[in-house]
Chains A and B, each alone.
Chain A
């Protein structure tokens, strides 16, 4: 194996890293010691919003900027910790007045507006559970997730409401209230103007006492054989957010921090909202989607020092024909972290050449709640590797023996399931309404991640692939079953198999293989119709970008479509074991 290693010399750093020696910290780390980083609620208990906002607002950081919001059209709004405390208190009072109770799920469906961030904190203050949806989801994924998570409230915008919620209100009878961020007046008794309610609400709120194990967030993640699952997280997850904020993001009080992830996904909540604020750090939110020049402009103008972004964005920047350090003043930037899908070695090295620092890859999942394996600012980087386990995390490569036991693979370079020892604070506490599935995630004392990896002789982990058919596109997980189910609703479709087709820019694109019912002709017109049909139902983030007609799809004798075979054929790879293939 060719070994490249990007050496670090922390003595040259302008800021001393929080973790100067990985080995020392890893070997001495205890989760219990993290408790002292938090204040706790005055009446006892633990609440993320208190530790992220109110604690700072009540102390020396009251007038420090908590949020800098950059609007799509060039507007800028800033909020201090004190202002965030008041605004989120108003939001919590709105929820309380409307009768929202502890544990009830309040969904968010919005582009990155300040009210989304205020709402997140307000929901948690009220003891309710925040359940984020991605604003680019189509009506179908939204409905699935709202029904499965028992949505009682929704924070959204007029446009998104009218387009994606209003047409299917009859399917959401339990949904009591919708708060519209940008409506001056109520639409009806259920659909209310948020500004009007906020204006009347008090800016004082006593946080509803929550315990460390109370549910805080519910994120949905895609399944391979079924519909999306609600992943339960608790307030104590902030222990992991704090530790990763310190050791992986290396947050220091004077940092300007920008996480480009959308709060519709777990990175956007754990690291786009919670982690920086737990550290009292100024958090930059950019409403606009990727635009290379604009993004470099934000890094420069807001003196960003720690940047958490995604491989797709890095690869887009690599396409730009400029030398960023000549065109922009990026002298404040001292750390770039990336997550979403494995970062290709070329992108890591591009960072060294163009930004004078490697891009640091890390690995985690919705289920893990926070970063689990990472490259650290003080440690050498091996391009292409996800790095080493976070202090407090025991990770291993294991082989499942099929009898309920697993064997740890200690031999370097040998593939297996990437597994974690359960018990870290941000570990998911369940799949909502699906205990059986949750239990199946743990085998013989290990959480089996579903990713395949190997470990090298220096204990660095390397991603190999997924153990299942889940698709990773633009850093987002897409479940093939959800896509197949939507396409099956089209009258022309007899069968569908959906796979991830490798793409150099966004990792994988969603591709559907379709066989048609008799009487339908495979042609370009129908293909276009199906693409449009999928997009309308699922939204651009989930719908197939490519459709291919096939007369028959490969199936097992029991009639299950063999996605693995579709994928092997697409890639021109050996078909592997086809003994179960229907002849």
Chain B
């Protein structure tokens, strides 16, 4: 899967968790929780959903590495090759 495809999957999953952002451009480098106003429970659900979609589990200790769309894409890309 290319980085763009991974990113598209993430964005799709964000729309699923926070449908009020459906169709919006998700900022690449801003903190996802802060800029989209999703709470930590939503964020956990987002990562659970992505685990199902992409088969990569993000352990609690790595949450700091998936704070932005860009970082999250990189994180998954590294682990999917």
Binding site for B on A (CB under 8 A): 72, 111, 136, 289-294, 312, 316, 319-322, 474, 505-506, 509, 528-529, 531-533, 535-536, 539-541, 545
Bits for B28-42, please: 1 = Cβ < 8 Å to A, else 0: 000101100111111
The secondary structure that dominates the A interface is: loop
Query: Across the interface, do B63 and A540 meet the contact criterion of CB distance under 8 Å?
Result: no
Bits for B1-35, please: 1 = Cβ < 8 Å to A, else 0: 00000000000000010111110000000010110
**Smallest Cβ distance from A180 to chain B, in angstroms?**
18
Within 8 A of A (CB), among B33-60: 33-34, 37-42, 44-45, 59-60
**Smallest Cβ distance from A474 to chain B, in angstroms?**
6
Binding site for A on B (CB under 8 A): 16, 18-22, 31, 33-34, 37-42, 44-45, 59-61, 63-64, 67
Say which residue of B39, B59, B61 sits within 8 Å of A474 (CB atoms).
B39
Name the 9 nearest CB pairs between A and B, nearest first: A532-B19, A532-B20, A536-B20, A540-B39, A528-B19, A319-B60, A535-B20, A320-B60, A292-B60
**Smallest Cβ distance from A293 to chain B, in angstroms?**
5
The secondary structure that dominates the B interface is: helix
- Say whether, besides A528-B19, A532-B20, A540-B42, A321 and B59 are in contact (CB < 8 Å): yes
Say which residue of B39, B41, B45, B64 sits within 8 Å of A294 (CB atoms).
B64
- Say whether, besides A528-B19, A532-B19, A539 and B37 are in contact (CB < 8 Å): yes
Tell me the complex Cα distance, A545–B41, Å: 9
Chain B neighbourhood of A290, CB < 8 A: 40
**Smallest Cβ distance from B76 to chain A, in angstroms?**
18
Tell me the complex Cα distance, A541–B33, Å: 12
Most buried by A among B20, B38, B59, B61: B20
Query: Across the interface, do B19 and A531 meet the contact criterion of CB distance under 8 Å?
Result: yes
Interface CB pairs A-B, < 8 A, 9: A72-B34, A111-B34, A289-B33, A289-B40, A290-B40, A320-B59, A320-B60, A505-B44, A509-B41
Given contacts A509-B41, A528-B19, 15 further A-B contacts (CB under 8 A): A111-B34, A289-B33, A292-B63, A293-B61, A320-B60, A321-B60, A321-B61, A474-B39, A474-B40, A506-B41, A529-B19, A532-B20, A535-B18, A540-B37, A545-B45
**Smallest Cβ distance from A582 to chain B, in angstroms?**
33
Chain B neighbourhood of A541, CB < 8 A: 39
Tell me the complex Cα distance, A528–B12, Å: 13
Tell me the complex Cα distance, A293–B21, Å: 29
Identify the closest chain A residue to B38 (Cβ): A540
Tell me the complex Cα distance, A72–B21, Å: 23
Chain B neighbourhood of A539, CB < 8 A: 37
**Smallest Cβ distance from A570 to chain B, in angstroms?**
18
**Smallest Cβ distance from B74 to chain A, in angstroms?**
17
Chain A neighbourhood of B44, CB < 8 A: 505
**Smallest Cβ distance from A71 to chain B, in angstroms?**
12
Chain B neighbourhood of A322, CB < 8 A: 61
Chain B neighbourhood of A505, CB < 8 A: 41, 44
Chain A neighbourhood of B60, CB < 8 A: 292, 316, 319-321
